[in-house]
A and B are shown apart, each in its own frame.
Chain A
């Protein structure tokens, strides 16, 4: 079954009913003009799904709608088949987390304190720091390579370190679904790759379902199992990178004339803009 796909029959077996996260015919708008129009999508479990599209196409809006940060005017978001609106916020936070674009930590907050925040949805008010919490936080900090930075202030870190600390917080939440909104914004290529390698490692080592938004098509092709293409607030196509990424699609959706060919070493689709000269 090749989901994410158009779910014209939303409750058909194998689509939204079984998906860890799905949207059905959602329409989202700020004011009058809708930013998303009738978008349906079912995310496959255990895979990395990346939403791509031109600037302002509504890809971040789609992710924020999935996270429950924006309430759709029409349609609904399903988490494990349950409408998001029927779940308590703390319950949602135990199953799904979203790392916003360029989060800012308060001045002086240490990495350990930030990552420990991720345990909050699991903690009763009288137990805000247990041995389990400590172990989970240490594990995720080690996995993201920020354990040695535990006592440092988040605002003093480099861009790549800071992003890994925030990802550690999201992971400490131990949610089966993790959403990342442009996790590589303002990072240079080396640090962007470092963050995406971390995502790939998560995909290999844990059963988490990851949905992210990326603006770099080339990186999206390398680090995703599924690509979802959005233009003008509408769903265009979805599927494995090799199927979705074609010169025709890039020309039509992004207005970009480019060659797409398999990388000679690993065979992953590679995008090269066609120069006019």
Chain B
């Protein structure tokens, strides 16, 4: 039967109606224009860029003047400048790429589970990746290098996510079950890590512990080979799937009624989130709470309905870079993970209290 013949009436024109949602149109394309989101996102990107520039120019005792940065990047600096750049550039590049990865991953998991508590670090992905990475560190003593560590962390993160999903699944994803299962997996992994650190020799334990607190201080140019592709690939994937993420925020049934294959979309999104989180964890160690806090902050700054993926990623980059600047300006050596965790814990408590209040009301 021809559907068109029975299709509902064509719309009557509404001359007096003001634009519901302002749009940008060019040829066959068309997008909604949200001034606050656009300005906020560009602002966050510029802030991240400024922090990158500042980190390279003033990230230590030797000051590089701003007008020298580009020539040095292009390989025209003198030896000292080149050495300084080789030390500082990886640090900020890692900060920007992995801050973005963590923030974006958090926005994805929070959106698809429709739960602000469901970020990768809270549901056990980070601890699964950490456990696998410590296993490799202790077992191989760092001989595997960044690629081996990344592979192990990825496998650990995926296994943890699979376990959490298996327990959290009950004819569909239940938000609360996932979080409870995530807490259980996190606790189990932490216990296993502690046990392994106790058994190994002191040097390995020290190295693993340093990695476990999450730091950008150990960054070297080789790490950029992992960070940059991951950063770029994630931006691409997120751009292609942002509409699905927005639809999944409505509810699984509604998303399905709008033509989205919910199970597949969730699986793909979850996989992207795990890959982003596990890679960042493998290279820098677990940088806690960024994936949880950044999307929630971005949602409030940009006033979006649900944690924004791009905004969350950019804010994640800003948070990590700013925390790393703070760490470097302190008289004592602190890992960046300790700063983000200190920042994140109160936010977590605030959110839990607020949710509990709303549930009571």
Contact B247 A176 (CB under 8 A): no
Which of A5-13, A99-107, A253-261 lies at the interface? A99-107
Shortest B104–chain A CB gap in Å is 18
Residues of A within 8 A of B303 (CB): 108
Task: Verify if B250 is at the interface (C-beta below 8 Å from A).
Answer: yes
Which of A34-42, A132-140, A222-230, A234-242 lies at the interface? A132-140
Contact B261 A89 (CB under 8 A): yes
Contact B254 A100 (CB under 8 A): yes
Residues of A within 8 A of B23 (CB): 129-131, 134
Pick from A106, A147, A207: contact of B250, CB under 8 Å: A106
Pick from B8, B29, B254: contact of A207, CB under 8 Å: B8
Contact A93 B257 (CB under 8 A): yes
CA distance A47 to B224 in the complex (A): 63
Task: Verify if B62 is at the interface (C-beta below 8 Å from A).
Answer: no
Task: Encode contact with B along A119-157: 1 for CB under 8 Å, 0 otherwise.
Answer: 011000111111101111111011000010010010000
Residues of B within 8 A of A147 (CB): 17
Task: Verify if B3 is at the interface (C-beta below 8 Å from A).
Answer: yes
CA distance A118 to B254 in the complex (A): 10
CA distance A100 to B25 in the complex (A): 33
CA distance A175 to B31 in the complex (A): 23
Task: Verify if B199 is at the interface (C-beta below 8 Å from A).
Answer: no
Task: Verify if A97 is at the interface (C-beta below 8 Å from B).
Answer: yes
Contact A135 B8 (CB under 8 A): no
Contact A138 B28 (CB under 8 A): no
Contact A108 B28 (CB under 8 A): no
Pick from B19, B240, B259, B306: contact of A106, CB under 8 Å: B306
Residues of B within 8 A of A97 (CB): 257-258
Task: Verify if A174 is at the interface (C-beta below 8 Å from B).
Answer: yes
Contact B28 A20 (CB under 8 A): no
Residue count of chain A within 8 Å CB distance of chain B: 67
Contact B17 A142 (CB under 8 A): yes
CA distance A205 to B8 in the complex (A): 9
Contact A105 B243 (CB under 8 A): no
Q: Closest residue to A64 on the B side, CB-wise? A: B253
Contact B7 A98 (CB under 8 A): no
CA distance A89 to B11 in the complex (A): 25
CA distance A139 to B11 in the complex (A): 6
Contact A138 B14 (CB under 8 A): yes
Residues of B within 8 A of A126 (CB): 28-30
Residues of B within 8 A of A110 (CB): 305
CA distance A110 to B36 in the complex (A): 14
Contact A103 B20 (CB under 8 A): no
Residues of B within 8 A of A131 (CB): 23, 25, 30
CA distance A205 to B256 in the complex (A): 27
Contact B13 A45 (CB under 8 A): no
Residues of A within 8 A of B304 (CB): 108
Shortest B353–chain A CB gap in Å is 16
Contact A18 B1 (CB under 8 A): yes
Task: Verify if B329 is at the interface (C-beta below 8 Å from A).
Answer: no
Task: Verify if A109 is at the interface (C-beta below 8 Å from B).
Answer: yes
Pick from B20, B246, B259: contact of A93, CB under 8 Å: B259
Contact B9 A206 (CB under 8 A): yes
Pick from B20, B253, B254, B259: contact of A90, CB under 8 Å: B259
Contact A106 B305 (CB under 8 A): yes
Q: Which of A2-61 contact B (CB under 8 A)?
A: 18, 20, 30, 45-46
CA distance A111 to B44 in the complex (A): 27
Shortest A149–chain B CB gap in Å is 11
Pick from A92, A108, A113, A134: contact of B19, CB under 8 Å: A134
Pick from B1, B12, B28, B251: contact of A80, CB under 8 Å: B1
CA distance A21 to B249 in the complex (A): 28
Task: Encode contact with A along B284-326: 1 for CB under 8 Å, 0 otherwise.
Answer: 0000000000000000000111100000000000000000000
Residues of A within 8 A of B259 (CB): 88-94, 120-121
Task: Verify if A75 is at the interface (C-beta below 8 Å from B).
Answer: no
Shortest A59–chain B CB gap in Å is 16
Pick from A80, A108, A113, A121: contact of B258, CB under 8 Å: A121
Task: Verify if B87 is at the interface (C-beta below 8 Å from A).
Answer: no
Task: Verify if B32 is at the interface (C-beta below 8 Å from A).
Answer: yes
Contact B6 A45 (CB under 8 A): yes
Contact B7 A176 (CB under 8 A): yes
Shortest A178–chain B CB gap in Å is 9
Contact B14 A89 (CB under 8 A): no
Interface residues in chain B, defined as those with a beta carbon under 8 Å from any beta carbon in chain A: 1, 3, 6-9, 11-14, 17, 19-21, 23, 25, 28-32, 114, 171, 240, 243, 246-247, 249-251, 253-254, 256-261, 303-306
The 4 closest A-B pairs by CB, nearest first: A93-B259, A109-B305, A90-B259, A139-B11
A-B contact pairs, 10 of them (CB 8 A): A89-B256, A97-B257, A100-B257, A112-B21, A114-B250, A125-B243, A127-B30, A131-B30, A138-B20, A206-B8
13 new A-B contacts at CB < 8 Å, known A93-B257, A128-B31 = A20-B1, A30-B171, A64-B253, A80-B3, A105-B250, A106-B306, A109-B305, A126-B28, A131-B30, A133-B30, A138-B20, A170-B257, A207-B6
